[in-house]
Amino acid sequence: MRSGTSRFRLSAFGGSGMLAVCGLLLVAATGCGRTSPASFRLNMVEATKQRLTSAQEQQVATILLAMFGTPDEPVCIPEAGLDEAKLRLAAGPVRSDIAGRKNGLYREHCGHCHGVTGDGLGPTAAFLNPYPRDYRPGVFKFKSTERADKPTHDDLVRILHNGIVGTSMPSFALLSDLEIDALAEYVKYLSIRGETEIELMRAFFELDEEDVGKLPETREFLVGEMLTSVAEKWQAAADAVIAVPEMPGDIDLVASIAKGKELFYGDKANCVKCHGVTGLGDGQANDYDDWNKVIVQWSQEVAGDQDAAWVARASHVLAGDALRPRTIPPRNLRQGLYRGGRRPLDLYYRIHAGINGAPMPAAAGTVAPEDIWHIVNYIRSLPYDLDGELGADRPMIAKGD
C-alpha cells in the first residue's frame, strides 16, 4: 500500500511526474531476465465509441499506469480501498518464491478465460457459452446485494469457491482460503481499474474548451472525482445486503408451492413471460445481456455512420476487441441448476433483486417480501413436478442459442 501511495503522489500533481512514474514502473516490471512484462489492454470499444484521438488514448493509458500499475506490478492508492499484499499474491507471472509460496494466481487460473485485463477476452473466451465475464463495467450477477449494487467480498469468495454450475466457470475449492481471498481482491482491482478507465474515457466529453482535449492530471480530478466514485460503490456493498424475512412458518409446503405457482403465472411477477408456461425457459428468449447489448447497439451505430474513416477503425475494433453477440436464454427451471447457488437463500436473492446485467428483473416492489419465499418453494419443486403438465411434444431442454 505504502509504495503505491508514494508513487502515485509523485504523479498526481504534474505531467512530468507522471512520466517519471511510468519509467519507474516499466523498469520495475521488466526486472532482470524475466519474461517480457505483461500489459493491460486498453478498452478499445469504449475509446472508439467516444471517438478519442490517439493522444487521448495515450493519456488514459498513462493515467491508468500511474494509478493501477501493470499486471506484474499492481499499484493501489488508498482511496481504491484494496489490499496490495493480496493483489501481489494474485498478480504477476506464475511463479513461487523461496518458501514455495505462489503468486501469479490470476494468470494461472483465470487469465485464459477472463483475459489478463479482466476484459473477458482471454484466448479461450470465444469458444465458451456464456462468455467469461468482462469485469470492466463493474457489473456482477450472483450476489447478496440489491440489483445495482456491487457484490460483497464474501459474494466473490463464494463464487470462486463454488464456481458457476452450468457454465465453464470452474470451482476453485482446491485452492486455499488465502488464495481465494487474494483472487477475489484481484477481481475487485481489475473491476475498479476497468470502471475508472470507462469514466476517464467518458470524461473527455465534458471537458471545457480551455482544457484543449486533455484531462486534468490533478489528484483532485483523478482520485477525487474519477476513482472515488467507483471505489465507494465497492465499499458500500457490505451495507447493501438484502434483508431477508423469515420463511413464513404458518403455511405448509404444499400450500406454499401452490401460492408460489399462482404468483409465477400472475401478471405481477410475470415469470411466465420469459421462463415459459412449462418453466422450460422457452418464453421470450431474444434478449441480450448488458455486455452483448453494448456490442449489438454499437454495431448498428457503426453501420449507420457516414464517416468512412471512423467506420473502418470501428469495424476493426469490433472484429478484434469484441466477441460475436449472443442472446441470453431464460433459465430452464426444470433442471434444478442454479448458477448463483442452490441454497433457498440464493434463490431468494435472485428473485428479489433479479440478475444484474441480465434481462431477469427484480420481483422486489411487485411481490411482497414474504411471498418471494413461496415463489422460491415453487421453483424448487419444479424439477420434481412430473404431473404430465409438460405435454408430450415439449422437449425437456430449453431452446437457446
Count of CB atoms situated within 10 Å of the CB of 4:
21
Please say whether the dihedral angle defined by the alpha carbons of residues 269, 273, 274 and 277, taken in this order, is positive or negative.
positive
Nearest distance in Å: CB 146, ligand HEC: 14
Of the candidates 101, 100, 81, which has an alpha carbon nearest to the alpha carbon of residue 90?
101
> Which residues, numbered 267-286, are part of the site for ligand HEC (CB under 6 A)?
269-271, 273-275, 284
Sign of the dihedral defined by the CA atoms of residues 246, 249, 255, 259, in that order = negative
Q: How far is CA 174 from the centre of its chain?
A: 23
How far apart (Å, rounded) are the C-alpha atoms in residues 166 and 141? 15
Give the separation between CA 190 and CA 180, rounded to whole angstroms. 15
Q: Which region among 27-35, 166-174, 237-245, 381-389 touches ligand HEC (by CB under 6 A)?
A: 166-174
CB of 376 to ligand HEC, least distance (A): 8
Q: Which of 187, 231, 314, 353 binds ligand HEC (CB under 6 A)?
A: 187
Are the CB atoms for 179 and 109 separated by under 8 Å?
Answer: no
d(CA 401, CA 395): 15
- From residue 17 to residue 56, the character string flagging contacts with ligand HEC as x (rule: CB under 6 A) and all else as - is ----------------------------------------
Would you say 92 or 361 has its CB closer to ligand HEC?
A: 361
Distance CA 360, CA 354 (A): 5
- Is 130 among the residues that bind ligand HEC (CB under 6 A)? yes
Beta-bridge partner residues of 74? 69
CB of 107 to ligand HEC, least distance (A): 9
Residues numbered 337 to 396 that lie near ligand HEC (CB under 6 A) are: 338-340, 347, 350-351, 355, 358-361, 363, 375, 379
Give the shortest CB-219-to-ligand HEC separation in angstroms: 30
Binding of ligand HEC at residue 316 (CB under 6 A)? no
Decide if residue 189 touches ligand HEC (CB under 6 A): no
The radius of gyration of the chain from alpha carbons, rounded to an integer in Å, stands at 23
Helical packing angle, 177-203 and 54-68, nearest 10°: 150
Q: Under the criterion CB under 6 A, does residue 142 sit at the interface with ligand HEC?
A: yes
Specify the residue for cell string 413461496. 374
**Pick 61 or 376: Cβ nearer ligand HEC:** 376
Asked whether the CA dihedral 196, 199, 204, 207 is positive or negative, the reply is negative
Q: Does 128 bind ligand HEC (CB under 6 A)?
A: yes
- For ligand HEC, the binding residues (CB under 6 A) are 109-110, 113-114, 124, 128, 130, 132-133, 140-143, 151, 156, 159-160, 164, 167-170, 172, 183, 187, 264, 269-271, 273-275, 284, 328, 330-331, 333, 338-340, 347, 350-351, 355, 358-361, 363, 375, 379
